A and B are shown apart, each in its own frame.
Chain A
Amino acid sequence: MDVTDLLQLAIYGVVLGSILTLGAIGVSLLFGILRFSNFAHGDIMTLGAYAAFAVVSILHTPVWLALPVGMIAGALVAVAADQLVYRRLRRTQPVILLISSFGMALIIRSLVQLIWGPQDRSFIKGIDMPMHFGDLMVSPQQLWILGGTIVIVIAVHLFLTRTRMGKAMRAMSDNMDLARVTGIDAEKVIIWTWALGGALAAAAGVFLALDTRLTPMMGWSALLPIFAAAILGGFGKPYGAIVGGMIIGVASEMSTAVLPPAYKPATAFAVMVIMLVVRPNGLLGARR
């Protein structure tokens, strides 16, 4: 294990971090507004990835063209879950929503399995030659993931700071009661938040599938590191999620230098637990 190997792992870490970031931004936004952790988030990732896969396998389009379709599918499923179930449970304790979203996760996963079957799938047929930069290797997919994430994160930033709906989301996340007396249409903002969170999750799912493979369990397995990233960034703070995602991503990949790769989720968990004990409000969060 020399410096090159570590750098290589750091590159993989940034790629994984990109995927986690996209998932964690959605979790964080939803938490900020609805005050509950959406356990179905990972499975919306899975569904988005499979929807994009369907486009690629039926229409033979490139993956980047299928990505928006996957994102729309993710947004629709998230909004549908909210309108059919969560909306009616919002008046009860937030914990009931947790249970419901846990059930929703299994519903979505079994739907994916019913439609596409339990076997693994892949976006890429054959082996793509990685590109070499000195001793370091990067696959074209990894560059796509990184570039795609940067574009999407900038778009989300512009949405949150430049549009009326984006500002209303931040306002609701700041203070729900004040938003209501100000006349902000809470229901509409909630629907848009689900749509945004679902679309981002789907993008994360497509990127995860590009980096690895499609399996019905892929999203659920990513949920723990995504929550870890969101907690690290301070729940309810979408910008913190970027920092959290990168830290968890890099830490997970670097841990393979000393631990079997199977323990990557354990590393994410360990970082999260240390964080919870040391700074329960997140890295960037001093308030509340």
Chain B
Amino acid sequence: MSIDLSGLASYGVFLLTLAAIYGVVSLALNVQWGMTGLFNIGIAGFYAIGAYCAAIVTTPPSPSHLGGLGLPFGVGLLVAMAVSGLVAFLVGLLTLKLREDYLAIATIGISEIIRLVLKNEDWIGNGVRGIAGIARPLSANPLVYLAVVLLVLAATYLAVERARKSPWGRVLRALRENELGAQAAGKNIYRFRMEAFVLGSMIMGLGGALYAHFIGFVSPEAFEPVFATFLVWVMLIAGGSGNNKGAVLGAFVIWLVWSGTELLTNQLPADYVTQGSALRVLLIGVLLQVILLRRPEGLLPEERPHVGASPASSAEAEDEA
């Protein structure tokens, strides 16, 4: 019995740690989508950059991949953020002036290319074999690492929340709501969107680095790229995009739902177990549609300054047949 309990406890710690890492990434997406309206579906790409940077910077030197540099945990996090931010800057340079669909397509493209490069260029990250032996900071004890992740999550939350309430955050919201009006007010839309895109991507990289240290191993297929991206989107929308508390809450709720579906599919007859993951994806996909249709504002709707009904929405509302 006691063995079961400790098994359950360690499963709990495992779940919470991953939920908290997703919380960081969900906050990052909230900066881009919730606050600014930038449609990034290449989250997995920035996440992977962060994970590989952490691996290369902190592991001991190895002939099978770039580095390792054997540097401390904190340095790995900073490099992960810097490189993700740099890639985001380049993507933004090419696409942020274009229509939102183009940014979306470009972000799929960039994350696909990142995956291809990591898979095919063995010298960077040892190809499909990946990089192993990424140590946790301070201690191998999962509880200690959970504390570290929660600390990073709290710091990220405070920083992002502060940004949201700042004049900078208010400009972002103005841009999102009524682009032309804000432009007329003399704001440089492009610069603000670029800043939000880069900041969000840096935090995604941070999330990837935390993940690498938690699992101890990275490979191009270690996390399903499309699905990782999708799950974060569901988290943010479910929690309430535009609301940072919602972003974190959504990450925990959806991660628990997602993990819960695993318990369910494990009950399936053995023949169907291989299909379990497809069934789980199906459930989450349907859940997203239901949220979009029934409660598009999420669990914790965005707090808006009171300005009355927005004219655009009421003008549109007339002829639903």
Contacts and interface: CB of A to CB of B under 8 A. Distances in A.
Interface of A: 31, 36-37, 39, 84-85, 88-89, 91-92, 94-96, 98-100, 102-104, 106-107, 109-111, 113-114, 117-118, 187, 216, 220, 223-224, 227-228, 231, 235, 260, 262-263, 265-266, 269, 272-273, 276-277, 280
A104 B285 contact: yes
B116 interface: yes
Nearest to B236: A99
A82 to B, nearest CB: 12
Given A100-B292, A220-B226, A269-B112, A111 B282 contact: yes
A276 B274 CA distance: 41
A102 B113 contact: no
Nearest to A227: B105
B39 interface: yes
Contacts of B132: none
Contacts of A272: 105, 109
Contacts of A231: 102, 105
Most buried by A among B41, B94, B101, B112: B101
B119 interface: yes
B98 interface: yes
Contacts of B275: 113-114, 117-118
Interface of B: 37, 39, 41, 94-95, 98, 100-102, 104-106, 108-110, 112-113, 116, 119-120, 226-227, 230, 233-234, 237, 274-275, 278-279, 281-282, 284-286, 288-289, 292-293, 296, 316-317, 320-321
A85 B94 contact: no
B109 A85 contact: no
A118 B281 CA distance: 13
B101 A36 contact: yes
8 contacts: A89-B293, A98-B100, A103-B233, A104-B289, A114-B275, A228-B109, A269-B112, A280-B98
B279 A114 contact: yes
A103 B284 CA distance: 8
Given A85-B293, A95-B37, A273-B94, A100 B282 contact: no
